[in-house]
Each structure stands twice: as structure tokens, then as C-alpha cells.
């Protein structure tokens, strides 16, 4: 048996962070540590999927229910049958990847069949705030090469215009978190093109994806809430061009790597995202980012502090995790 401990950590945010339908003051996460008989330790972190009702308490209960099955020879693929997709499996899966790397001395990237890791440019997120807040955040991040703007059904073009004023050279992604509709998309199209928006994340609600079926739109869509795991991908064809892969949604690095392969096979382009959290949560997602056109791993940059051995981020250029952190 492996020893498994689960703890809850709250990562404070620099400022309240708003998206369509929610406001966060801090990021509650679970951290899982696996220890073998030789003293090797593997760690993983997960925030879970709040809009699916996941909390640190619910994720901890899920892990406690299967702790007796965590034998030394456990394979990451076996976790897929032990737990459903979500934060609990994500934290446990990533901890197991880390433990196997510590046991073998072989980095997780090499075990995943990846070439030497390259640095990645991460998007910086502008939260859903009033004009003053939006302008302040955009001004602070004006030198970022890629900005992601949170919008909803009422606040959209005003926020985009403010960000464009403060960061005229930045590439722009819009994230509606499912708050828009097809009529609103059609109405906003000219202004979005005029502001050089290049990607729209989850414009319509999960379950309303068919409304995008015959829509000839000049800006590609990325499926986020509608893209959960490998099984969800086929139904997104003809509706979205990009898949936003998040380890908390799909339940870990093992499933995320499967999503990469299935998505490529079906002709999708890829994005990697996060549900916030520390560098410990971003580190395994960084491996997925090696295969992605868009990288959104700015969670630690939104927080007032990070974990020990934090990933280096200079001018939005994210560097690979060290072995001391993960993998």
C-alpha cells in the first residue's frame, strides 16, 4: 500500500476575480501526497470544477473512499476506472505521475513521450469588472502578448474596447463562460472583428452547443465547459474548432494526454487552461501545453502567493517545472 494524505489549501487572489456567474476571493484546492515505503513522495493539486459542485470536502471524500486500493504497483490508467473525471482524480493522477518520476529518475515529460520541454507564452486574464477595474488590470498587463478577457451577456464590448485602448498590441481572447447566445454572437461580430479578437471561449452554455452548428463565424470558438474528457470530443465537431483541455475537468494528466491525441485525430486545434491554483497544479498542465496553440496557465499570476519551488514566469514566458516541484 502507498501512504496517501490529502490537505486543503487556500490560495489568496490579488484582487476579487469575477467571471460570468461567479466571484472568487481565494482559490480553495486539495493537495495530495503519495509516499512509498522507500520514502519517495509524489504530489498533485486540484481546484476541482466548482460549477459541477466540486469542493475540497467532496474531493477529499472521493479519495478517502478508494484509498485502500492505492497499492504500490498502481498504474495511472487504473485510476480512470476508480474515480470519475474531476478534481479528485486529477490530484491523485498527477501525484502518481510525480511519484513514478521520483522512483525512476525519469522525468514525467519523457515518460509521456514528449521531447525536451520548451518555454510557453501564457495568456493573462482580465476579470469581469467595472470600467475602472478593467482599465486598471489591462494597464497593469499592457505588455502581455496575449490577453484573455472575461465577459458576460451584459458586459462585453465596453470591456474589450477598454482593454484594446490600454493594450493595443496584445492578441485578444474572449471568454464568455457560456453566457452568450447565437443572436448576441451575430450582433457582436463586426465589433469583435474590428478589435481583432482571435478566439472566443465557450460562447454559449453547455448543452446549447447545437446552436453553433451552421453558424459561419469569422472568429473560431473554443469548447471549455462543453469539453470535459475524451468521450465528449466527437460531439463537438462542427461546433467548435478548439478544445480547451483542463486537468481538473478531465481528471488528470493521463486523460488529458488521451484528449490531445483524440482531438488531433478528429481535426481539432488545442488549448490548455486552468481552474486557478499554484504552480503545482500548472506543472502537469505544462506538459499538455507543449501540444497546444493557446496556453492559459496564469493561475499563480492571479494569486498573491505561490507554492515553494514555483514555476518561473518572466514577462508571461512560462518555464518548465523543476524536479523539486513536480515530475
Do the domain assignments include residue 327?
A: no
Residue 68 has pLDDT above 70, yes or no: yes
Distance, CA of 27 to CA of 215 (rounded, Å): 36
Helix, strand, or coil here: 172? strand
pLDDT recorded at residue 21: 65
Predicted local distance difference test score (pLDDT) of residue 20: 64
Q: Are residues 41 and 132 in the same domain?
A: no
- From first CA to last CA, the distance across the chain in angstroms is 21
- Of 83, 111, 139, which marks where a domain is finished? 111
Quick one: 198 and 57 in the same domain?
no
| Alpha-carbon span 63 to 206, nearest angstrom | 27
**Same domain (yes/no): 248, 171:** yes
> Grid coordinates standing for 180?
452568450
Residue 127 sits in which domain range? 120-318
The fraction of the chain above a pLDDT of 70, given in percent, is 99
Q: Where does residue 184 rank: exposed (0-12), middle (13-18), buried (19+ CB within 10 A)?
A: middle
CATH code of residue 220: 3.20.20.120
pLDDT of 112 > 70? The answer is yes
Q: Are residues 139 and 286 in the same domain?
A: yes
pLDDT per position as a tens digit, 28-66:
999 999 999 999 999 999 999 999 999 999 999 999 999
Say what the pLDDT of residue 262 is. Answer: 98
Name the domain boundary from 111, 146, 168. Answer: 111
pLDDT (0 to 100) of residue 51: 93
Q: How big is the CA angle at 211 (ends 205 and 217), to the nearest 5 degrees?
A: 105
Q: Considering its fold, how many domains does the chain have in total?
A: 2
Q: Is 27 helix (H, G, I), strand (E, B) or coil?
A: strand
Q: Identify the domain boundary among 84, 111, 138.
A: 111
Q: How far apart are CA 72 and CA 185, in angstroms?
A: 51
Across the chain, mean pLDDT equals: 96
- Same domain for 204 and 293? yes
Q: What pTM did the predictor assign?
A: 0.95
Q: What are the phi and psi torsion angles at 7 (to 5°)?
A: -130, 155
Does residue 276 surpass a pLDDT of 70? yes
| Res 17 pLDDT > 80 | no
Do 259 and 294 share a structural domain?
yes
Residue 156 has pLDDT above 80, yes or no: yes
Cβ-Cβ contacts under 8 Å for 120 (sequence gap 6 or more)? 286, 289, 290, 295, 297, 317, 318
- What is the mean predicted confidence (pLDDT) over 284-301? 97
Helices H, strands E: what count in the chain?
Answer: 10, 14
Tell me the mean pLDDT in the region 162-191. 97
Q: Is the confidence at residue 79, as pLDDT, over 90?
A: yes
Identify whether residues 225 and 289 lie together within a single domain. Answer: yes
User: Half-sphere exposure (CA, 13 Å, Cβ side) for 8?
Assistant: 12
For residue 153, pLDDT over 80 is answered with yes
Alpha-carbon distance of 28 to 145, in angstroms, equals 29
| pLDDT attached to residue 16 | 76
CATH number at residue 60: 3.30.390.10
Among 7-21, 111-125, 126-140, whose mean pLDDT is lowest? 7-21
Same domain (yes/no): 106, 173: no
Q: Would 323 be classed as within a structural domain?
A: no
**Nearest-CA neighbor of 287 among 123, 99, 108?**
108
Q: Which of 43, 256, 263, 261 is nearest to 273 (CA)?
A: 256
Answer yes or no: do 99 and 139 share one domain.
no
Q: Tell me, yes or no, whether 326 lies in a domain.
A: no
Tell whether 206 and 126 lie within a shared domain.
yes
Domain shared by 169 and 34, yes or no: no
Q: Is the pLDDT of residue 19 over 80?
A: no
Does the pLDDT of residue 315 top 70, yes or no? yes
Amino acid at each position: 500500500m502507498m501512504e496517501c494524505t490529502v490537505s486543503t489549501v487556500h490560495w489568496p487572489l490579488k484582487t476579487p476575480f469575477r467571471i460570468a456567474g461567479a466571484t472568487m476571493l481565494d482559490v480553495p484546492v486539495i493537495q495530495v501526497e503519495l509516499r512509498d515505503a522507500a520514502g519517495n513522495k509524489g504530489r498533485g493539486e486540484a481546484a476541482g470544477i466548482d460549477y459541477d459542485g466540486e469542493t475540497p470536502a467532496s474531493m477529499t471524500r472521493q479519495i478517502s473512499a478508494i484509498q485502500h486500493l492505492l497499492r504500490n504497483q498502481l498504474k495511472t490508467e487504473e485510476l480512470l476506472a476508480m474515480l470519475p473525471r474531476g478534481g479528485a482524480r486529477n490530484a491523485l493522477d498527477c501525484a502518481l505521475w510525480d511519484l513514478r518520476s521520483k522512483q525512476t529518475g525519469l522525468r514525467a515529460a519523457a515518460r509521456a513521450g514528449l521531447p525536451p520541454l520548451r518555454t510557453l507564452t501564457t495568456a493573462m486574464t482580465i476579470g469581469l469588472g467595472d470600467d475602472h477595474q478593467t482599465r486598471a488590470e489591462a494597464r497593469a498587463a499592457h505588455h502581455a502578448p496575449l490577453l484573455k478577457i472575461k465577459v458576460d451577456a451584459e458586459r462585453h464590448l465596453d470591456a474589450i474596447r477598454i482593454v484594446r485602448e490600454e493594450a493595443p498590441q496584445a492578441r485578444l481572447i474572449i471568454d464568455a463562460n457560456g453566457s452568450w447566445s447565437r443572436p448576441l454572437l451575430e450582433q457582436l461580430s463586426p465589433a469583435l472583428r474590428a478589435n481583432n479578437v482571435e478566439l472566443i471561449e465557450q460562447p454559449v452554455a453547455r448543452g446549447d452547443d447545437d446552436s453553433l452548428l451552421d453558424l459561419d463565424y469569422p472568429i473560431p470558438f473554443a469548447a471549455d465547459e462543453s469539453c470535459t474528457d475524451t468521450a465528449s470530443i466527437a460531439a463537438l465537431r462542427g461546433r467548435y474548432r478548439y478544445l480547451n483541455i483542463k486537468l481538473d475537468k478531465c481528471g488528470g494528466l493521463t486523460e488529458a494526454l488521451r484528449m490531445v491525441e483524440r482531438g488531433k485525430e478528429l481535426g481539432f486545434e488545442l488549448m490548455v487552461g486552468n481552474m486557478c491554483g499554484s504552480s503545482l497544479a500548472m506543472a502537469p498542465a505544462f506538459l499538455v501545453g507543449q501540444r497546444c496553440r493557446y496556453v492559459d496557465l496564469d493561475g499563480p499570476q492571479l494569486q498573491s502567493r505561490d507554492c515553494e519551488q514555483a514555476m518561473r514566469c518572466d514577462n508571461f514566458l512560462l518555464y518548465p517545472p523543476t524536479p523539486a516541484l513536480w515530475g
